[in-house]
Structure 1
């Protein structure tokens, strides 16, 4: 080896750091739109893209009875969420549970309301995802709209982000050389 081909040992840590950054950047570019939280293979073919199922019942005695006898069928195409309405006494005893597939507009009424005239509290929640409405809402903390799926960016915004990532990747490669 000649003196021109040798590199001072002080340059190696900088290269190691740049290589690690390069690896992290590449991993981020290729896993940007991956969501492992909601991946469940369907038991039967889906009727349309992004199909989902909800527990469905109308005025069941309690959550157990609702889920136990829920009909196993796909939600209609125009729906996006699973809605749960839970009515219970001041002592926490369930009066009724209703669950169904709904559009986003019907989820604007999430939360809890005390109905003095009838002596019960009614809590409503909505969730997004395959059979996500297993539990019933019981207070303001869980009577909410829960979105589980990451929504993709519009293709133009996604392409801009991807282009910026590739430019950064190219600059790092040039710096390493």
Structure 2
């Protein structure tokens, strides 16, 4: 005679299977939603990257919208943004480009009393990281990525599918006893 599982056990097993099949959900914590990703295409060399690029654009929207989609040269490592704006915050010109470390040495904001405008410069490291404009000393910075910890360091973590598997074993064990 076939024995039927109680509804709660069947439901628990179904939930466990859903978690196991959806293993990619566990890696969602590692996604950087602020990073715009270009379509995948072959890179010209290892560690290639792209930046928004424009010269003397009138506003950030048009700079980013019409930015040329090309890989940065091999002698560059960062994306540079130079923003000139009035004392009322209205953009005068925006320049974005691929840059070397030496071009990123002078980040920050500088007010010109002669022309009554401010220039803020920022540099960042990463694929198309120069989306926003620097407008003050808080965001006119040199932002670099920190290396990920190696798998051998820190406390071990258990993924969602792993937890679901343990939970399923406990359910089955509890059912059998």
TM-score range for the pair, normalised by the shorter chain length: 0.5 to 0.7
**Which has the bigger relative contact order, CA under 8 A and spacing at least 6?**
2
Aligned to 1:87: 84
- Report the 3-state secondary structure (helix = DSSP H, G, I; strand = E; otherwise coil) of the residue aligned with 1:98: strand
| RMSD over equivalenced CA pairs, Å | 2.4
In the alignment, which of 116, 120, 145 is matched to residue 119 of structure 1?
Answer: 116
- Report the 3-state secondary structure (helix = DSSP H, G, I; strand = E; otherwise coil) of the residue aligned with 1:71: coil
Runs (4+) off by over 3 Å: 35-42
The 3 A distance-change label for structure 1 pair 86 and 42 is same
- Report the 3-state secondary structure (helix = DSSP H, G, I; strand = E; otherwise coil) of the residue aligned with 1:83: strand
- Report the 3-state secondary structure (helix = DSSP H, G, I; strand = E; otherwise coil) of the residue aligned with 2:115: coil
1: CA distance, partners of 2:108 / 2:87: 16
Structure 1: runs of 5 or more not aligned: 1-34, 153-157, 166-177
Aligned to 2:10: none
For residues 97-112 of structure 1, the aligned pairs below 5 Å read 97-112=94-109
Aligned to 1:46: 43
The 3 A distance-change label for structure 1 pair 88 and 44 is same
Aligned to 2:69: 72
Structure 2: runs of 5 or more not aligned: 1-29, 155-177
For residues 125-140 of structure 1, the aligned pairs below 5 Å read 125-140=122-137
Deviation of 1:116 (Å)? 1.1
